[in-house]
Chain A
Amino acid sequence: MPDTASSVAEMRKRVVLHADRVAHPSSMEFPGNFPGEDLAWDLERFKKDFRIVIGHIGKDDMEFDMIGVDAAVANAFRRILIGEVPTMAIEKVFVINNTSIMHDEILAQRLGLIPIKADPQAFALRRGTADEPTDLNTIVFKLTVRCEKNLDAPAGAVHPDDKFINSNVLSSHLSWVPQGEQETRFADDPCRPVIPDILITKMRPGQEIDLEAHCQKGIGKEHAKWSPVATASYRLLPDIQILKPITGDAATRFAKCFPPGVIAVSPNAAGIPEATVVNPRKDTVSREVLRHAEFEDKVRLTRIRDHFIFSIESTGIIRPEKLFPEAANILIKKCKALKAALAASGALDSGAGGE
């Protein structure tokens, strides 16, 4: 066992994973917790230690490392990404005719979940029913589809796609009906479903759907259909510590406890195969190694407390690298709103103490 001083130092920097529990998960970096240390908030020190490293940016997803920040703050960003960045989604469906087998309410629920490509910043919130729908807060789509027999189908056709016309109702069947100035405002980027081939329902000859759908601005906290992300998550960077050399056949067995690429087995100075950690980032921290008695006391699985590997998967409405700045701005706005409310309450005027 390590001595107390170094185990406290490790406790502060690492979250340790045991077979049956996770040890000291919460942060202790607060003033007064450790003698002789100034742990008060210091913006300059934070700026010095804080780092962001971008791994990749794709069309719809990105991964980056955020290093040197507390979980409380990283989690706030993650929560805002999922629940508070606004988008446009179908909220009201006026069904004129629906003879398909899908009930109106199920159809409406499915329509709501279709991501709509429209810049949310170009629209205003529609608050309740008192707010009239206008071209500034509502996008209108029409869905008019009728399924018919395909008279040109070859005689032996068996597949519904060949036998029938419009047997699949797809998101591309939604046609945008520009209101007011929308046609000119969005001339170069028309409002449309992000993905054209989302299956809404299936029909057979004689069935038809005729409806009008109204999109409104909203946030994921009210309904997941407004969430701009498929998911936004983070994990802590794993740090695998080999405490005693693991050599020979045991090294191969050790490497098998981890995903490929995490552990390398190569000859050490004495020419005996030895296990070394090469890429802990790939580890899923399955803790498989802790099930084997032979590796007891030879390895410690930890995660670095302030190293967050963020992953953002956009639904395609907002580019992934634009989502995080939106989330940060929302957190700033929240703080400023509360600060204004605190100042308005007059509580700051009745000062005790020095200031």
Chain B
Amino acid sequence: MSMIEPVEDTHGFPFTEGATKFEIIPTDAADPSSATFVVHDEDHTLGNSLRFMVMKNPAVSFCGYSIPHPSEFKIHMRIQTDGSITAAQALNQGLDDLVALSEHVLATFEAKVAAKGDYETRDI
């Protein structure tokens, strides 16, 4: 059976292709240490897990997200840092960390599934 090369994903929702993914609402053009990032086509799934990762960064003094309106499919993610890095860098770091975490969870899970005999298998 031949596999189809998966289409470049539309980040979850099939019918919003070509729409803007990402915008920045700066609080102050001269101060890159705080900004609100608008991420389209995302919800609590990425919002809350990314908020957690960004908050784990000691250079971040505040991070929170909101869904400004339930019928608009987007999140607002507010990041404020202590000035040692920009808000955008904190977001980028958070994304890297979340990818690293997910990759480790995935690798651990697959290793455990491969270790047959360590768990019960049922036929029903």
- Size class of the contact patch on chain A: 35 or more
Chain B: minimal CB distance from A325 (Å): 6
Residue numbers in A under 8 Å from B31 (CB-CB) = 352
- Cβ contacts under 8 Å, B120 to chain A: 55-57
Residue A32 is within 8 A (CB to CB) of chain B in the complex: yes
> Of B33, B52, B122, which is in contact with the most chain A CB atoms at under 10 Å from its CB?
B52
- Asked if A31 meets B48 with Cβ closer than 8 Å, knowing A52-B112, A54-B119, the reply is no
A80 within 8 A of B: yes
Contact present for B3 and A122 (CB under 8 Å): yes
Which of B2, B9, B14 is close to A222, meaning CB atoms less than 8 Å apart? Answer: B14
A189 to B2, alpha carbons, bound, how many Å? 13
| Known pairs A337-B9, A339-B96; A31 contacts B108 (CB<8 A) | no
Residues of A with C-beta under 8 A to B56: 30-31, 39-41
A286 to chain B, nearest CB (A): 26
Bound Cα distance A351, B84 (Å): 10
Chain B residues, Cβ within 8 Å of A336: 95, 99
Look across to chain A and name the residue whose beta carbon is closest to the beta carbon of B115: A54
Q: Does A211 touch B at the CB level, under 8 Å? A: no
CB distance A353 to B86 under 8 Å? yes
Q: Which A residues are CB-close (under 8 A) to B9?
A: 333, 337
Question: Which residues of chain B are within 8 angstroms of A348 by Cβ–Cβ distance?
Answer: 86, 88-89, 92
Q: Which residues of B contact A154 (CB under 8 A)?
A: none
* Chain A residues in 8 Å Cβ range of B97: 41, 43
- The CA-CA distance from A39 to B58 in the complex, in Å, is 8
Cα–Cα distance between A83 and B83 once the two chains are bound (Å): 38
Nearest residue, chain B, Cβ from A332: B102
Q: Smallest Cβ distance from B110 to chain A, in angstroms?
A: 6
A338 CA to B120 CA, complexed, in Å = 39
Interchain nearest-CB distance for B100 vs A (Å): 5
Q: Specify the main secondary structure of chain A where it touches its partner.
A: mixed
Q: How far is the CB of B49 from chain A (nearest CB, A)?
A: 4
* Contact in complex: A79, B44 (CB < 8 Å): yes
Question: Which residues from chain A sit less than 8 Å from chain B, CB to CB?
Answer: 27, 30-32, 38-41, 43, 46-47, 50-60, 64, 66, 69-70, 72-73, 75-77, 79-80, 83-84, 119, 121-125, 127-128, 136, 185-186, 188-189, 217-219, 221-222, 321, 324-325, 328-339, 341-345, 347-348, 350-355
Given contacts A79-B44, A127-B17, contact A355 B85 (CB under 8 A): yes
Complex Cα distance, B88 from A352, in Å, reads: 10
Separation in Å of the B118 CB from the closest CB of chain A?
7
Q: CA of A75 to CA of B43 in the docked complex: distance in angstroms?
A: 12
**A-B residue pairs, 3 tightest by C-beta:** A41-B56, A72-B52, A341-B22
- 8 CB contacts below 8 A, A to B, read A69-B105, A119-B1, A125-B10, A217-B14, A338-B46, A345-B23, A347-B24, A347-B86
Q: Which residues of B contact A219 (CB under 8 A)?
A: 12-14
| B residues near A188, Cβ cutoff 8 Å | 1
Bound state CA distance, A153 and B124, in angstroms? Answer: 36
Supply 17 further A-B pairs (C-beta < 8 A) apart from A56-B121, A345-B22. A40-B58, A43-B104, A52-B105, A56-B122, A59-B123, A75-B44, A76-B48, A79-B45, A119-B1, A123-B4, A127-B17, A218-B14, A321-B113, A331-B46, A331-B98, A348-B86, A348-B88
Which has the most chain A C-beta neighbours within 10 Å: B11, B45, B112?
B45
Closest chain-B Cβ to A162's Cβ sits at a distance in Å of 31
B32 at interface (Cβ–Cβ under 8 A)? yes
The chain B residue with its CB closest to the CB of A119 is B1
Residues of B within 8 A of A333 (CB): 9, 11
Given A221-B13, A347-B86, decide whether A329 and B104 contact each other with a Cβ distance below 8 A. no
Assess A41 versus B121: contact at CB under 8 Å? Given A50-B104, A328-B105, A338-B46.
no
In the bound complex, how far is the Cα of B51 from the Cα of A75, in angstroms?
Answer: 13
Closest-CB distance, B67 to chain A (whole angstroms):
13
Give the CA-CA distance A41 to B96 in the complex, in Å: 11
In the complex, are the beta carbons of B49 and A121 less than 8 A apart?
no
Contact across chains for B119 and A43 when beta carbons are under 8 A apart: no
Which residues in B have their C-beta under 8 angstroms from that of A338? 11, 21-22, 39, 42, 46, 95
